[in-house]
Amino acid sequence: MQTFTTDLLCIGAGLAGERVAVAAAEAGFGVICLSLVPSRRSHSSAAQGGMQAALGNCAKGEGDSPDVHFLDTVKGSDWGADQEVARIFVDNAPIAMRQMAHWGVPWNRVVPGTSTYFKGGKQFEKTEKAENEGLIAARDFGGTAKWRTCYAADGTGHSVLYTLDNRAVQLGVEVHDKVEAISLIHDGERCMGAVIRCLKTGELSVYLAKATLIATGGFGRIYRETTNAVINDGGGNIIALNTGVVPLGNMEAVQFHPTGIVPTDILITEGCRGDGGTLLDKNEYRFMPDYEPDKAELASRDVVSRRMTEHMRKGLGVDSPYGTHLWLDIRHLGVKHLTTKLREVDEICKNFLGVDPSKDFVPVRPTQHYSMGGVRTNKDGAAYGLKGLFSAGESACWDMHGFNRLGGNSLAETVVAGMVVGGKVVEFLKGYETFFCTKTIDAAVKFERERIAGLISGKYGTESVYQVRDAMFDSIMKGAGIFRNGKDLQTCVDELEAIHERAGKVSLRSNGLGANPELAVALKIQGMVKLALCVAYGALKRTESRGSHAREDFPERNDRDWLNRTLAYWKEGDSLPTLKYEDATPYFELPPGDRGYGGGKIIPADPAKIVVKEKNNG
């Protein structure tokens, strides 16, 4: 068995993982990144629309500032965000975007002169100033007061990831791909690294580090219908939860993106609506202004997804063999726009649907997309419960998104949090000395060897891992989808408890040797069901509606009782997570109020509990 040692172990080599790695490598520390796939195939590369940062370079972004970005972010979170973290994010986002430009990201740039743009299907004009020529341009995104989403056509994630990966290579960051972390090595107080399984050979190895980072992305693959790649199965969240001491935060906060294509659920960027696309029903009627007169298609994602679902429930959706859907109309944007600024969308529609978006409607429906919940960390990215463990990106609950994240904020978070958390990891490494306990390491490896042997031999039972996974898919989609209610959530929790028991009785139909996808799923299936239970049980207990968490039986946002964050712990032997709660934010720079879109009643908080702190006031 091989043993690797390094200063920083990054589990995940997407944008967040590599940005933290770059910060550590720049400071002279040794870094190893682990990845299920080659680093440039990380799911970050699939991000299309852009990154939010208040640069104020373009005509429709004039007057923008970090303060305006902060207001949009906190309102978008439905006041579930940690406002201290949101402030750190918005203040650092412009720095990070310019830094990425310096490293080589080919951002779209401001072109001076008068040009046309679309909003709500109508054509307008804007005039860009000559003095802004060549500055980073921006497009419109949902829930924002200004155009601030920096973009590289609709391949932003691809462009930024390739640039960042080049930077990592320059600094000597090692990337070990086609491997998966199956457990953390810890003594209940300190994290020492991880047990790793090679996806090609099945062999186990040990990676020891002074600091370990979880940056494995989201857990969307606990849902059947999702925009997430197959690698987004929550592996990093699972190994953190399995420690018993690291909590996951706000797991009930799951975002559905309004425009996944039917039937494949591949994402169609919010940039389509930001650039002027509209949503139509079966009568080719544009319905969103009826629900959201001010924001229409560019209300926040949780609101648009709910409005689309409400409209389809009224019988106004388009029937198809793959279920009911609605139409996205981007024909009026024109061939030139579609083949330049939305070229990936154009190619996806043509290659996966056989639809030419310059001539035809695109079939879309709300689809699971993003996980606001994740490994709970403090503002420095340090995980609760284990010293030496950090997390960043979608796998983390940092928590700038609260109960709904704005489009463009999460992709920006990868490099902004990567920069901020990376700096804190460097500080930690400079002042931290540790030792590695061979007894603890040997016990962790032995446990995993015996677990794998038991799955191969049929020691635990005869359940099929794929049947168990299908049962999980069926249950969570019915109970913890876009709309939720107590009855369906209780049924979902009860079903998932039984499914969790079944997941402990899985055996393999294959021999488990070598590159074996069945074994890879079998090693995670109990953990995936645990994540599903954290979502459903947290949603059952949260008797309010906030952001993406919409309870039909409790439609009010209840600031009096629920202005807090859920922490889910999993104790060994339990069939349900243990839920605890902490204040949503240490102080309020922006006291709770109305979002300005989405409607709904608010039960106000006790004013005595709203501690307001002025910006930059110490």
What are the pLDDT digits (tens) for 15-65?
A: 999 999 999 999 999 999 999 999 999 999 999 999 999 999 999 999 999
Written as six digits, the tokens of 63 are: 């007057």
- Does domain 254-369 correspond to CATH entry 3.65.10.10? no
Q: Residue 43 carries which side chain, given as an amino acid letter?
A: H
- Return d(Cα 155, Cα 362) in angstroms, integer: 19
The confidence score (pLDDT) of residue 120 equals 82
Residue-averaged pLDDT of the chain? 96
Contacts of 349 (CB under 8 A, 6+ apart): 261, 268, 355, 356, 357, 362
Q: Is residue 167 annotated as a catalytic residue, yes or no?
A: no
Q: Residue 470 carries which side chain, given as an amino acid letter?
A: D
The confidence score (pLDDT) of residue 618 equals 44
pLDDT tens digits for range 183-223 = 999 999 999 999 999 999 999 999 999 999 999 999 999 99
Q: Which of 540, 542, 48, 76 is nearest to 303 (CA)?
A: 76
- Asked if the bond preceding 263 is cis, omega within 30° of 0, the reply is yes
The confidence score (pLDDT) of residue 540 equals 98
Q: Is residue 325 annotated as a catalytic residue, yes or no?
A: no
| pLDDT(4) > 90 | yes
Region 578-585 average pLDDT: 97
The confidence score (pLDDT) of residue 121 equals 83
The confidence score (pLDDT) of residue 616 equals 58
- Return d(Cα 326, Cα 309) in angstroms, integer: 9
Region 493-509 average pLDDT: 97
- Return d(Cα 618, Cα 616) in angstroms, integer: 6
What is the crossing angle of helices 156-170 and 83-103, to 10°? 70
Instruction: Compute the 3-state secondary structure of the chain and give helix, strand, coil in percent, each to the nearest 5.
Output: 40, 20, 40
| pLDDT(614) > 90 | no
Give me the helices (H) in 296-431, please. 301-311, 335-338, 343-348, 409-430
Which one of the listed residues 158, 273, 301, 376 is annotated catalytic?
A: 273
The confidence score (pLDDT) of residue 617 equals 47
- List the chain domain ranges: 254-369
Region 335-351 average pLDDT: 95
Mean pLDDT lowest for which of 5-9, 141-145, 417-421? 141-145
Burial class (CB in 10 A: 0-12, 13-18, 19+), 561: exposed
pLDDT tens digits for range 103-154 = 999 999 999 999 889 988 889 999 999 999 999 999 999 999 999 999 999 9
Region 495-522 average pLDDT: 96
Region 358-367 average pLDDT: 97
Phi and psi torsions of 609, nearest 5°: -95, -5
